[in-house]
Amino acid sequence: MGLPMSDPTAWATAMNNLGMAPLGMTGQPLLPDFDPALGMMTGIPPINPMMPGLGIVPPPIPPDMPAVKEIIHCKSCTLFPPNPHLPPPATRERPPGCKTVFVGGLPENSTEQIIMEVFEQCGEVIAIRKSKKNFCHIRFAEEFMVDKALYLSGYRIRLGSSTDKKDTGRLHVDFAQARDDLYEWECKQRMLAREERHRRRLEEERFRPPSPPPVVHYSDHECSIVAEKLKDDTKFLEAIQTLLTWIERGEVNRRTANNFYSMIQSANSHIRRLVNEKAAHEKEMEEAKEKFKLALSGILVQFEQIVAVYHSASKQKAWDHFTKAQRKNISVWCKQAEEIRNIHNDELMGIRREEEMEMSDEEIEDPSEMKETEELALVSQVEALKEENDSLRWQLDAYRNEVELLKQEQGKASRDEDTTKEQQMKLLQQALQGMQKHLLKIQDEYKKREAELEKVREDKLKMKTLLENLKEQQSIADEEDKERDAVDCQGNESSASRVCVCSQEKDCPVEKTLSNSPVKSEREVLLVGIISTFLHVHPFGASIEYICSYLQRLDSKICTAEVEVLMTRLQNTFRQELSGVGASLEKRWKFCGFDGLKMT
């Protein structure tokens, strides 16, 4: 408000901004109606910061309204904001500890200097890895700088003032997953975990109870100190613990036996002190019991007086003058007082019974004391009987009053009982209906299960009959196969006999060779052929067990001894060799028929 008079336009502009008419522009006093007591001009309302035109406190921006992006001018390029009505660009899920961003849509003529110029506004750039395909990866120093870089996603970039396609592009900024970021994040997490473990360890050590002090080693000096402590009641526990540790360590020997005996003797003398202390505590306990008994008897007397007041108030002379609510309260109070009195009375009688049972044998032997105790017991029993008689009489009066109250309330209760009975009947009927429905459901399920069981039984019978038929068919087929095999064998034998006859007629020397051959049957001939084929396939030979395992697949009746005897007979066809060294020595059979043919 201290503007000079030589600048009237500035004053008028300020007044117009405040929403007031301009005053004092011709050299007149600026504030003619100013009231210094009020601190404001008369006729003008006080200035409010929320008045239109001031704009001191801007209105709050609604959260749904998108932030308006502006044009960003750099030295060698210009960034134009995207359309605010378009949805925000999509981004992938943020990796943990992400400090690297992917930037796509760069102009073809862009360089690392231009990229650094654009993105160094977001924060300190550690490294830029640029590709030839118009994209790059930028690594920042901190994680929050990545959020600033994502703000530039969607901007159109133009290098200089050129409109060439190679000088323009649309930026796409997204999170990038880099091993360096993940490694730094994991290191940070491990450091935080170590700090947390260290903090927990310190907390545990702080709350851990202190360990007991170590027990000193035995020496004559320490022995004398412990012996003095054993005689002191305040330090006995510490000394006895030290003595126990020394004995368990094996410090007792011939030289120290006397010292240890004196310490054990001191410990034994402490037993007498403990017994005396126990007797003193028992005496204090007896005195406390006597005080408690006296206090309890005084309390019982007061209860008796209070109950007597209630009973006198419940008599007809005074009872008729009370209201119904007052009578009810008096009766309730009387019941409570009688219950508490009976509890205390039982407690007092229990204490007296315990005292009677704890009498020692010496007191029982003394006849005079016995008489006194009997008289005291009789007196106490008489007093107890009197108290019980009074309590029973008061209880009888209370019961009479209760009966009268019950008669009055019975009329009201009968009506309530009728309604409750009807409700119970309805509930029972509903429950019975539910049980009947449940039984019907169970019966239906039972019938369904029986039908399913019958179907299963029928299926089992059908399966059994089918199995029997299949067995019969199988047996018939086996018999037919046996008959065919027999017929085939007979045909083979007849053909073989014919061939033999023909060969005898044609060539007599062949008969001599067959009679002298090591092969004695057609089965052995077949075995020789199969073994020869098997060993021909295995040029390095095979063991007898391997050969027999192959033959037993064809005929399970073949044995190893039979095959080995047959192969030893045919020395020109099969040869046995030893292979291997030491423990791996192994006998192998090889086929040598071609060599034997050349030799013959």
pLDDT by residue (tens digit) across 146-155? 999 999 999 9
Question: How is residue 367 written in tokens?
Answer: 């006849």
Q: How many Cβ atoms sit within 10 Å of the Cβ of residue 440?
A: 10
pLDDT class of 20 with cuts at 50, 70, 90: very low
Alpha carbons within 13 angstroms on the beta-carbon side of residue 435 total 6
pLDDT of 17 > 60? The answer is no
Question: How is residue 423 written in tokens?
Answer: 């409700």
pLDDT of 248 > 60? The answer is yes
Q: Which residue has the tokens 């004196």?
A: 262
User: What's the 3-state SS for 375-444?
Assistant: HHHHHHHHHHHHHHHHHHHHHHHHHHHHHHHHHHHHHHHHHHHHHHHHHHHHHHHHHHHHHHHHHHHHHH
Question: How is residue 234 written in tokens?
Answer: 């305040």
Torsion sign (Cα): 238, 243, 244, 248: positive
Q: What is the mean pLDDT of the chain?
A: 79
pLDDT class of 249 with cuts at 50, 70, 90: confident
For the chain, the first-to-last Cα distance in angstroms comes to 143
The mean pLDDT value for 576-580 works out to 81
What proportion of the chain, given as a percentage, has pLDDT over 90?
18
pLDDT of 362 > 70? The answer is no
Give residue 596's pLDDT.
Answer: 66
CA distance linking residue 24 with residue 15, whole number of Å:
11
CA distance linking residue 224 with residue 452, whole number of Å:
96
pLDDT of 49 > 70? The answer is no
C-alpha distances out from residue 248 to 241, 251, 535, Å: 11, 8, 82
| Of 232, 122, 208, 244, nearest in space to 173 by CA | 122
Q: How many Cβ atoms sit within 10 Å of the Cβ of residue 407?
A: 9
Burial 253-263 (b: 16+ CB within 10 A, else e): eeeeeebbeeb
CA distance linking residue 77 with residue 115, whole number of Å:
10
Give residue 163's pLDDT.
Answer: 81
Give residue 295's pLDDT.
Answer: 87
Which uninterrupted H or E stretch holds 80?
Answer: strand 77-80
Yes or no: say if 71 and 81 are a contact pair by the CB < 8 Å rule: yes
Give residue 491's pLDDT.
Answer: 55
Query: Cβ neighbours of residue 138 under 8 Å, at least 6 residues apart?
Result: 100, 101, 103, 115, 119, 125, 127, 128, 129, 149
pLDDT tens digits, one per residue of 441-478: 888 888 888 888 888 888 888 888 888 888 888 888 77
Query: Cβ neighbours of residue 343 under 8 Å, at least 6 residues apart?
Result: none
Give residue 475's pLDDT.
Answer: 80
pLDDT tens digits, one per residue of 410-422: 777 677 777 888 8
CA distance linking residue 583 with residue 561, whole number of Å:
24
Question: How is residue 374 written in tokens?
Answer: 């009997």
Which of 113-117, 351-355, 366-370, 401-405 reaches the highest mean pLDDT? 113-117
Amino acid at 43: G
Give residue 490's pLDDT.
Answer: 64
Q: Reduce the DSSP state of residue 25 to 3 states and report it.
A: coil
pLDDT tens digits, one per residue of 313-342: 888 888 888 888 888 888 899 888 888 888
pLDDT class of 170 with cuts at 50, 70, 90: very high
Give residue 40's pLDDT.
Answer: 41
Give residue 499's pLDDT.
Answer: 38
Q: How many Cβ atoms sit within 10 Å of the Cβ of residue 94?
A: 14
pLDDT tens digits, one per residue of 515-554: 456 777 888 888 888 888 888 888 888 888 888 888 888 8
Cross-strand bridge partners of residue 139: 100, 127
Give residue 373's pLDDT.
Answer: 66
| Of 82, 37, 261, 251, nearest in space to 172 by CA | 82
The mean pLDDT value for 187-196 works out to 95
Q: Reduce the DSSP state of residue 73 to 3 states and report it.
A: strand
CA distance linking residue 255 with residue 220, whole number of Å:
11
**Burial (CB count within 10 angstroms: exposed 0-12, middle 13-18, buried 19+), residue 560:** middle
Which has the higher per-residue pLDDT, 409 or 9? Answer: 409
What proportion of the chain, given as a percentage, has pLDDT over 70?
79
Give residue 520's pLDDT.
Answer: 73
| Of 128, 130, 93, 129, nearest in space to 110 by CA | 130
Q: Which of 174-178, 282-286, 348-352 shows the lowest per-residue confidence on average (mean pLDDT)?
A: 348-352
Yes or no: say if 118 and 100 are a contact pair by the CB < 8 Å rule: no
pLDDT class of 33 with cuts at 50, 70, 90: very low
Amino acid at 464: K
Q: What is the pTM of this model?
A: 0.31
Amino acid at 425: M
pLDDT tens digits, one per residue of 470-497: 888 888 877 877 777 776 656 555 544 4
Question: How is residue 450 written in tokens?
Answer: 């029986």
Give residue 359's pLDDT.
Answer: 65
Q: Which residue has the tokens 């047996």?
A: 475
